[in-house]
Structure 1
Amino acid sequence: MQNQNISDVIEAYLKKILEDSEQVEIRRSEVAELFHCVPSQINYVIKTRFTPKQGYIVQSKRGGGGYIRIQKAQFMDDHELLDQMVENVPATISQRDALAVVQRLYDEEIIDRKTSNIILATLSHQTLNVGSKKIEDGLRARLLVAILESLRYESK
């Protein structure tokens, strides 16, 4: 655990709770105290590790009785999930965000490890390096949508 950074530890803690229940409701200050970090670190973890692309719905209420509620998004079937994923791919996407999408496909057992590795190799910076980050991210987004649409029609 010493090789992990605090964000990884907090993410693992929250995901462990989500394994046993549909949602987790936390107070930012309490979790920050538990991990001896500042509350903004909790915000960072939630903003970067619990996004809709990664399959989470986050709600928050500010104030004295405030909370942050994290839920794993539930879908009726693979087709519905793939539809939602296709709709949420922006015109440009970073390698990190594409990784999150592929990880979600793997976690939902839509693709296996070998397929996920092939997709990741296809979407990597090394493969798509065209000299312009904007063009690379746009190409990555178009490829990702094509892959998702292919999986969507395959899952019918």
Structure 2
Amino acid sequence: MKMSDVIADFIGEMLSSGGGVAEVQRKSLADRFSCVPSQINYVIETRFTPEHGYLVESQRGGGGYIRIVRLMDDKQRTLLEAARGIGGRLTQNDAARLMRALLSAELLTAREAQLLLSACSDGALAEVDKADRDRLRAAIFRCAVMGIATT
């Protein structure tokens, strides 16, 4: 396991035990892992970003700290990752398969899944040229899942 992964896991555990908030001092964390403080910066800047569901605040100086706040829970983060993973095209069968996977993982309610499946069906997209349906379906599916994740 890479040092970055070890540090990220440690901070993740701090977030879990701290109710979604972790306050660290760069130097003490670097001493703990026998690395340079810039390694801590790297981990925080790449793993704990708003896109990953975190807010980072820092106070510089002798008593300085870095506070990391989890903005999204694991369900929201997983849904956003699923939405980002949808390619540029999505067939009706692939949409149904993905929706069933999200439903079985309890990331969507039965109602959300049914609405999503209906909105992405060939019937709903009947007015759209067949060549454009899969592209539009992917965009609808992605936007709907992101909307569910952020509400």
Q: TM-score, normalised by structure 2?
A: 0.55
In 2, Cα distance between equivalents of 1:146 and 1:43: 37
Equivalent residue of 1:40, what SS? helix
1:44 is matched with which residue: 25, 42, 45?
Answer: 42
Equivalent residue of 1:68, what SS? strand
Deviations 1:106-143 (A, max 9, x none): 1xxx48xxx93x963627xxxxxxxxxxxxxxxxxxx9
Equivalent AA in structure 2 for residue 41 of structure 1? Q
Tell me the equivalent position of 1:7. 4
Mean Cα displacement is larger for which, 40-49 or 16-25?
Answer: 16-25
**Per-residue deviation, 1:148:** 3.6
Residue-pair matches, total:
100
Q: Matches of residues 3-152 of structure 1 in structure 2 within 5 Å?
A: 4-21=1-18, 22-74=20-72, 104=77, 106=78, 110=79, 116=82, 120=85, 122=87, 147-152=141-146
Please, what is the CA RMSD of the aligned residues? Answer: 3.3
8 Å contact from structure 2 (residues 8, 47) kept in 1: yes
Structure 1 pair 153–63 and aligned structure 2 pair: CA distance change class (3 A): closer
Structure 1 pair 144–34 and aligned structure 2 pair: CA distance change class (3 A): farther
**Per-residue deviation, 1:150:** 2.3
In 2, Cα distance between equivalents of 1:7 and 1:144: 34
Deviations 1:17-48 (A, max 9, x none): 11111311111000000000000000000000
Tell me the equivalent position of 1:134. none
Identity between Structure 1 and Structure 2 (%): 38
Equivalent residue of 1:63, what SS? coil
List gaps (5 residues or longer) in structure 1.
Answer: 82-103, 124-142
| Structure exhibiting the larger radius of gyration computed from Cα positions | 2
Structure 1 pair 122–74 and aligned structure 2 pair: CA distance change class (3 A): closer
In 2, Cα distance between equivalents of 1:51 and 1:6: 19
Structure 1 pair 146–43 and aligned structure 2 pair: CA distance change class (3 A): farther
List gaps (5 residues or longer) in structure 2.
Answer: 89-136
